[in-house]
């Protein structure tokens, strides 16, 4: 390299913050190092013959202080005064110590996340003990008042209110627990062949058999039933949510659940004839804590549908909603057979 | 004749209330605060039905079911599980181990009552 080139290149290189080397490619000699490279590698780097294959990405150890660090160099060809050189731009890789520290921070963060999830899991479980005792005490009061022939509309209304709120709180606990598990990626999808009709029968019996208003879930099956490959627990959470909503947001007619077994897929539809969802709310419907603008006075956390959508997608399904305000709502889930 | 129910539950606040409720509905009620005491009471009194919690000290609900199912004296007594766990897995496990039924906590007494009547009438 001629002196005028040398000076020009030096100026150019010193303007770069990362370490840069100019390597003469035939011998592998470092012709020029910028200030950042000299700071890291020492003055002796200039004129040094590299014993590493410098045509591809290579590493050089630094020699400043006790801390062992390496610099990663990425080479490219450069032509200076019609002569080919290798221009290598470096990036300091973090020291082992530094990496170890980062790893430790990550581990701490994960442990904290796990603690949070298990804390929420534990509290929601613990909260159920007093809730159960309160619910039983309310039942006892009601029974006793009835037996003493002291029941009147005032007692009845307020006792019902306590009881309803206990179960709302319980649902909220379930939803918060589920969501916290989803957020911390603590949900495994354990897919097994599942008979959906059987799950529906179970849910019907478990949650929807003893209603105060005598309404029932109407179940309709079309086509030849086949098993689908999903996580059974998650499917039942999805269905429980949609069915509860169908009851909650309608008053007179029975909600319907249709299982339509097509040639390649199962479509599960949950239909109600309730208040419907205003069009402007539909795009936001599956966001956490979002609730429709027409739910006035109907309890809910806004978490249910966020959970439904997450679980449906985790299990390879699709969810669609069609609704008309004042007419009713239909949620359709599609699962392809495995 | 009044039917006898053995209630195995480790939370006194719930035991007392539930005992009262069952008595108001004309059942005789015996109580035990853990699985071990429960098994002993069942052997002594031969109740018509056992209502048991799952998560409790000494012997839990699953172990209790195993003991009942391998004991000639106890195997015909229906055991109804009261469980705070709503996961299908826990319930399936209890049913697999021979539970006659289950009710999840918190419950409405009329649901529990309906389940009891299904099992012992």
Along chain B (121 residues), what's the average pLDDT of each consecutive run of 10 residues?
Answer: 90 93 95 93 95 88 93 93 75 89 90 92 76
CATH number of domain containing A163: 1.10.287
Q: A140 and B17: CB-CB below 8 Å? A: yes
ipTM over 0.95 threshold: no
C-alpha span between A292 and A285 (Å, rounded): 7
Q: A232 and B88: CB-CB below 8 Å? A: yes
Given the candidates 3.20.20.10, 3.40.50.2300, 3.40.720.10, 3.20.20.80, the CATH classification of the domain at B3-120 is 3.40.50.2300
CA A170 from centre of chain: 23
Q: How many CA atoms lie within 13 A of B8 on its CB side?
A: 30
Q: Pull the structure tokens for residue A225.
A: 């039933």
C-alpha span between A200 and A185 (Å, rounded): 27
pLDDT in tens, B73-89: 999 999 999 987 666 67
What average pLDDT does this structure show over A303-310? Answer: 91
Residue A55 reports pLDDT greater than 60: yes
Domain count across chain A: 3
> So what's the pLDDT on residue A308?
94
CATH number of domain containing A282: 3.30.565.10
> So what's the pLDDT on residue A103?
86
C-alpha span between A116 and A93 (Å, rounded): 33
For residues A90 and A153, is the Cβ–Cβ distance under 8 A?
no
For residues B19 and A303, the model is more confident at: B19
Nearest CA distance, B89 vs chain A (angstrom)? 7
C-alpha span between A58 and A38 (Å, rounded): 17
Among B51, B88, B94, which would you mutate to test the A interface (most chain A Cβ atoms within 10 Å of its Cβ)? B88
Among A121, A133, A144, which would you mutate to test the B interface (most chain B Cβ atoms within 10 Å of its Cβ)? A133
C-alpha span between B109 and A208 (Å, rounded): 15
Q: Which of A183, A218, A244 is the last residue of a domain?
A: A183
C-alpha span between B36 and B63 (Å, rounded): 10
Residue A100 lies in a domain: no
pLDDT in tens, A10-36: 777 888 888 899 898 888 889 888 888
Q: How many CA atoms lie within 13 A of A225 on its CB side?
A: 12
Residue A124 reports pLDDT greater than 80: no
For residues A213 and A250, the model is more confident at: A250
Helix ranges, chain B (H): 12-24, 35-45, 61-69, 88-96, 109-120
> So what's the pLDDT on residue A31?
86
Residue A94 reports pLDDT greater than 70: no
C-alpha span between A115 and A292 (Å, rounded): 33
Q: A140 and B110: CB-CB below 8 Å? A: no
Q: Which domain holds residue A138?
A: 106-183
Q: How many CA atoms lie within 13 A of A240 on its CB side?
A: 22
Q: Which of A158, A183, A208 is the last residue of a domain?
A: A183
> So what's the pLDDT on residue A305?
93
- Give kind and range of the element (H or E) at residue A96: helix A96-147
For residues A268 and A335, is the Cβ–Cβ distance under 8 A?
yes
Task: Give A291's pLDDT tier (boundaries 50, 70, 90).
Answer: confident
């Amino acid at each position: 390299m001629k002196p005028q080139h040398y000076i020009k290149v030096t100026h150019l290189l010193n303007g770069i913050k990362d370490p840069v080397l100019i390597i003469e490619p035939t011998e592998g000699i470092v012709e020029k190092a910028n200030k950042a490279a000299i700071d890291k590698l020492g003055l002796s780097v200039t004129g040094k013959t590299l014993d590493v294959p410098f045509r591809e990405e290579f590493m050089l150890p630094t020699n400043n202080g006790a801390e062992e660090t390496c610099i990663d160099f990425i080479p490219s060809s450069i032509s200076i005064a019609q002569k080919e050189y290798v221009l290598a731009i470096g990036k300091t890789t973090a020291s082992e110590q530094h990496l170890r520290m980062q790893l430790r921070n990550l581990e701490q963060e994960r442990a904290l996340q796990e603690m949070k999830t298990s804390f929420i899991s534990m509290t929601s479980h613990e909260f159920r003990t007093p809730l159960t005792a309160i619910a039983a005490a309310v039942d006892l009061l009601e029974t006793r008042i009835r037996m003493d022939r002291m029941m009147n509309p005032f007692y009845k209304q307020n006792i019902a209110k306590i009881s309803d709120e206990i179960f709302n709180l319980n649902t909220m606990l379930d939803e918060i627990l589920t969501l916290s598990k989803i957020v911390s990626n603590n949900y495994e999808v354990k897919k097994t062949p599942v008979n959906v009709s059987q799950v529906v029968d179970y849910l019907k019996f478990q949650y929807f058999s003893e209603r105060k208003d005598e309404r029932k879930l109407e179940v309709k099956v079309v086509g030849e039933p086949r098993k689908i490959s999903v996580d059974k627990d998650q499917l039942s959470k999805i269905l429980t949510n949609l069915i509860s909503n169908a009851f909650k947001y309608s008053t007179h007619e029975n909600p319907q659940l249709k299982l339509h077994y097509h040639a390649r897929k199962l479509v599960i539809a949950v239909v109600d004839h309730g208040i419907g969802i205003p069009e402007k709310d539909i795009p936001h419907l599956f966001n956490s804590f979002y609730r429709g603008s027409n739910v006035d006075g109907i309890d809910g956390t806004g978490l249910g549908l966020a959970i439904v959508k997450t679980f449906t997608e985790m299990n390879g399904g699709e969810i669609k909603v069609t609704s008309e305000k004042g007419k009713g709502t239909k949620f359709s889930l599609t699962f392809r057979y495995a | 004749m009044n039917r006898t129910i053995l209630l195995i539950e480790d939370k006194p606040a719930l035991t007392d209330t539930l005992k009262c409720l069952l008595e108001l509905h004309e059942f005789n009620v015996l109580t035990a605060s853990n699985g071990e005491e429960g098994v002993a009471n069942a052997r002594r009194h031969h109740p018509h039905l056992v209502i048991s919690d799952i998560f409790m000290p000494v012997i839990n609900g699953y172990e209790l079911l195993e003991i009942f199912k391998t004991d000639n004296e106890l195997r015909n007594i229906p055991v109804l599980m009261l469980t705070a766990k709503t996961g299908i897995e826990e319930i399936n496990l209890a049913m697999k181990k021979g539970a006659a039924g289950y009710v999840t906590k918190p419950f409405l007494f009329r649901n529990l009552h309906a389940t009891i009547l299904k099992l012992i009438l």
